[in-house]
Amino acid sequence: MKTKGDAVDPKRLVAEAYRIEGITEAECRSIFLDWALSLEALSTSEALAQLLAVYGGDESHPMTKVLTEGLSVPTTPRRRGGWRSRPRD
């Protein structure tokens, strides 16, 4: 029987991540991506804040670190090269 989640965790991916013993940060990042793609009703930052309110008490869990990083504002990407940065002859 598949348990249906709510608007914040529709597939209950985050809840299950916290139940898995020995889960790695890389596995949590993969779960986070799947969770973000399944999110429909709320903005991502609102949903992350709600998830951290529920699960964030376990600061040593890798999923808490991933959720906290998800709240940080991304920096503007810098150009690293490519065909446009090469001098033309």
Give 36-61 pLDDT, tens digit per residue. Answer: 998 887 788 899 999 999 998 889 99
* pLDDT the model gives residue 84: 66
What's the predicted TM-score (pTM) here? 0.74
* pLDDT the model gives residue 34: 95
The CA-based angle 29-54-67, given to 5 degrees, is 20
Say how far apart CA 56 and CA 89 lie, in whole Å: 56
Residues of the chain under the 50 pLDDT cut: 1-2
